[in-house]
Amino acid sequence: MEKTKIAVIGLGALAQIIHLPCLSKMNDVEIEAICDTDFSKAKKVASRHNINPKKVYKNTDDLLKENPEINGVIISAQTNVHKDIAISCLESGKDVLVERPIARNMKEAESIVNTAKKEKRKLMVGMNNRFRYDVMMQRSFVKSKELGDIFFVKTGWLKTRSSIQKWFLEKDKSGGGVVIDNGLAMLDAGLWMLGFPEVFSVSAINFSHNTKSVEDSNFTMIRFKNGSSLNLEVSWSLIREEFFYCNIYGEKGSSSINPLKVFKKMENNVFDITPKNIKMPSNLFKNSYELELKHFIGVLKGNDKLISTGDEALKVMHIIDCIYKSAKSGKEIICK
């Protein structure tokens, strides 16, 4: 069986805890090369995962030049270098998975997406929450119209920040705080449920109780041109324990996750139609990443249709930009 050759660029916690262990377990995948600006760390990581020490690199250009056989690249470096790395990989003829956020803002995201189209390469943006079992089941009820037309989504994520590294709190490197961290993930999930309608306006407020250059709490109301709306609530500081939710409201019913619940109105009565005896993975978080990576490999092999596209990422980043503009101005803004 011919193996799909993958390179991983950026060897932070996500790559070490999720990407490399998951890829190592796939019989049809070979980790061909890895790269990190911290070369000492990269060599240690290679040793732990039995990666050829000659395939360890400090910069992307050398990796791409010396490994033309690579089929796909996973980018999990810090956000401010996503654009340059992704464009280099795409222009080298490689398909790419960029972990979220795709970039610091919509302008950078557009550069990546336009390059992928120009080079006719596959571009996937890592939105692992789409691959959670409960989210996928909720989405299946929405797609089948069991809940009728969806008119409102309320979603949020209260948790500590995803990284303790210093750059994560530096706006020029991260692009923002909790909005671009937890908020972007939940916004994507909500938009996916709604079918990515065209945005009309955004009203947002940010707080920075425990941070300086970035926000640590955000509350946003988004209105769409089709009349539907979405409420977003995210925070790094308003927590005692992690709370993750996505509530869907349709004309014929409603649904929530964590845990999964589905209710449907029939003949003026409301029935609980939640599937019974569901066997959820013991670790929904890790399992979602495993399924995300398997999907990316399936896309590279031509077996799967791409989920979480660059075009969808642009729509998310457009709203993210609007959220920051609204919060800064202190008023609702019309998104153009």
Q: Are 42 and 178 part of one and the same domain? A: no
67 with 138, same domain: the answer is no
Q: Are 255 and 262 in contact (CB under 8 A)?
A: yes
Residue 78 is encoded by which pair of tokens? 């810090």
Is residue 100 located within the same domain as residue 218? no
Q: Are 84 and 154 within one domain?
A: no
Assess whether 264 and 153 both reside in one domain.
yes
> Both 76 and 171 in a single domain?
no
From the first residue on, what is the mean pLDDT of each consecutive set of 10 residues in the chain (336 residues)? 93 96 95 97 96 96 97 97 98 98 98 98 97 96 97 96 90 97 97 98 97 96 98 90 94 95 94 90 89 97 96 98 98 95
Quote the radius of gyration of the chain (alpha carbons, Å). 20
130 CB-near residues (< 8 Å, 6+ apart):
136, 139, 188, 189, 192, 288, 292, 307, 308
Our count of domains for the chain comes to 2
Joined together, the tokens standing for residue 225 give 């041109």
Tell me which residue range forms the domain holding 266: 130-283+314-334
CATH code for the domain in which residue 227 is found: 3.30.360.10
Same domain, 180 and 300: no
Is 245 exposed, middle or buried, given 0-12, 13-18 or 19+ CB atoms closer than 10 A? Answer: middle
φ, ψ dihedrals at 100, nearest 5°:
-70, 150
Q: Is the dihedral of CA 287, 284, 218, 239 positive or negative?
A: negative
Is residue 298 domain-shared with residue 270, that is, in the same domain?
Answer: no
Please check whether residues 279 and 294 belong to one and the same domain. no
pTM of the model: 0.95
- Asked whether residue 62 falls in the same domain as residue 83, the answer is yes
Q: Where are the alpha helices (DSSP H) in 184-283?
A: 184-194
Kindly state whether residues 99 and 146 are assigned to the same domain. Answer: no
> Do the beta carbons of residue 146 and residue 292 sit within 8 Å?
no
**Which residues touch 18 (CB under 8 Å, ≥6 apart)?**
286, 289
Q: CATH number of the domain that 28 lies in? A: 3.40.50.720
**One domain for residues 74 and 174:** no
User: What does the pLDDT read at residue 1?
Assistant: 64
User: Strand pairing partners for 199?
Assistant: 224
Dist CA 56 CA 156 (whole Å) = 39
Q: Show the tokens assigned to 52.
A: 């050829």
Chain centroid offset of residue 188 CA: 7
